[in-house]
Amino acid sequence: MSAYSVTEPTGRSKLVAGLLVTLYAVVTLLPLVWIISTGFKSGPDSISYPPKVVFDPSLEGYVNLFTTRTRVAAEEFQNLPPPETWYDEIVRDSGMVIAGPSRFGERFLNSVIIGFGSTFLSIFLGTLAAYAFSRFKVPLKDDLLFFILSTRMMPPIAVAIPIYLMYRELGLSDTHLGMILLYTAVNISLAVWLLKGFIDEIPREYEEAALIDGYTRFQAFRKVVLPQAATGIASTAIFCLIFAWNEYAFAVLLTSGTAQTAPPFIPTIIGVGGQDWPAVAAGATIFLLPVMIFTILLRKHLLRGITFGAVRK
């Protein structure tokens, strides 16, 4: 590169750009910082005005998130044995006793089961279909690919009406299997489109060489294509997982108890006189943190994932 380039921005313009973007980043991250910090505030600190930036950290929100609590009569409270654990102590400080575990653990586990289950199924079916679309002459290929994509345009509520009726008939309402199948159907369009792009990039010559060496198609697919596509498969899987993890509309309409995931549950965490914000924030933090980490891991493939493979860097 030459010493002077007309396309290289000047030092000053870089500085100004850097400052403006930093400013935007600070403002845009503020709500996220607020979620995380509210999780560590005590009840009164969370609703004080002006809002507290510096506060005594407390685990009250996290304890409230995982427990249900009851108030007991004053004299009974006096006669209770001393608290045995640190979380017992935190609850006693607010004049209550722990009644039992909350449902957050179950809901979170449901999110994990349904998220991973549907991701596994989407990737399994999606890889097979993507390989076929990439390598073989499938009749009506473009129409089928467009059909797969167009399923994504329907408003979820529009699909939810008949799915609700269908699941009611089949006994799939509020079951893990029902939600896994549903999320797989929603994610498969993304999986096929993304994976087709990744497999298209693997040179055909590798498989053809393997076929010459006496591999069958299946063996060539398994031993040559799959290892080559591993990165693409992994990042597609993370996108599917994030979608299933974040989904709300189907979850709130089709689940109520046993199979309910965390997103419909977190907004229903109620304290005394309204939402228990530290507990809501604690739940949100636990729920959002894995996605933040995945996003950072995925940053190279992010653009591709969010555009269904339409834009590649």
Partner 1 sequence: MPDPIAAVARATPDPIARKVRGLSDRAIAWLFVAPTIFLLLAINIFPLIWTVRLSFTNYRANRPNEEVEWVGLRNYVRILTDDGIWANMQTTAHFLFWTLFFQVLIGFTLAWLINRKFKGNDLLTTLIVLPMMLSPAVVGNFWTFLYQPQIGLVNYVVELVTGTPASSFSMLGPGGYAPWSIVIVDTWMWTPFVMLICLAGLRSIPDYIYEAAEIDRASKWRQFWTITIPMVLPFLMLAVLFRGIENFKMFDMVVLLTGGGPGNETLLASIDLKREAFEKWRTGYSSAYAIILFVTVFGLASIYVKALNKVKER
Site for partner 1 in 6-25 (CB under 8 A): 6-7, 9, 13-15, 17-18, 20-22, 24-25
CB 252 within 8 A of CB 182: no
Shortest Å, Cβ 90 to partner 1: 22
Shortest Å, Cβ 118 to partner 1: 11
Shortest Å, Cβ 32 to partner 1: 6
Say whether residue 272 binds partner 1 (CB under 8 A): no
Cα–Cα distance measured from residue 53 to residue 55, given in angstroms and rounded to the nearest whole number: 6
Cα–Cα distance measured from residue 221 to residue 217, given in angstroms and rounded to the nearest whole number: 6
CB 20 within 8 A of CB 3: no
Shortest Å, Cβ 54 to partner 1: 15
Please identify which residue in 199, 287, 301, 309 interacts with partner 1, judged by CB under 8 A.
287
Binding map of partner 1 across residues 147-186, x = CB under 8 A, - = no contact = xx-xx-xxxxxxxxxxxxxx-x------------xx-xx-
Residues 202-241 that bind partner 1 (CB under 8 A): 205, 208-209, 211-212, 214, 216-218
Cβ closest to partner 1, residue 67 vs residue 276:
276
Cβ closest to partner 1, residue 96 vs residue 254:
254
Residue 134 neighbours by CB distance under 10 Å? 21
Shortest Å, Cβ 28 to partner 1: 6
Cα–Cα distance measured from residue 103 to residue 266, given in angstroms and rounded to the nearest whole number: 10
Binding map of partner 1 across residues 23-62, x = CB under 8 A, - = no contact = -xx--xxxxx-xx--x--------xxxxx-----------
Nearest to 101 by CA among 57, 54, 68, 63: 68
Please identify which residue in 55, 226, 246, 271 interacts with partner 1, judged by CB under 8 A.
246
Cβ closest to partner 1, residue 96 vs residue 266:
266
Nearest to 68 by CA among 112, 105, 109, 110: 105
Nearest to 182 by CA among 201, 169, 167: 167
CB 89 within 8 A of CB 83: yes
Say whether residue 299 binds partner 1 (CB under 8 A): yes
Cβ closest to partner 1, residue 71 vs residue 152:
152
Residues 60-119 that bind partner 1 (CB under 8 A): none
The token pair that represents 124 in the structure block: 């399994």
Nearest to 124 by CA among 240, 210, 259, 261: 240
Cβ closest to partner 1, residue 77 vs residue 136:
136
Cβ closest to partner 1, residue 99 vs residue 165:
165
Q: How many residues bind partner 1 (CB under 8 A)?
A: 106
Query: Could you give the count of Cα atoms lying within 13 Å of 40 in the half-sphere of its Cβ?
Result: 10
The token pair that represents 298 in the structure block: 């995925």
Please identify which residue in 104, 131, 193, 198 interacts with partner 1, judged by CB under 8 A.
131
The region of 60-68, 75-83, 132-140, 225-233 touching partner 1 under the rule CB under 8 A is 132-140
Q: How far is CA 288 from CA 1, 32, 52, 54, 282, in A?
A: 43, 9, 22, 23, 10
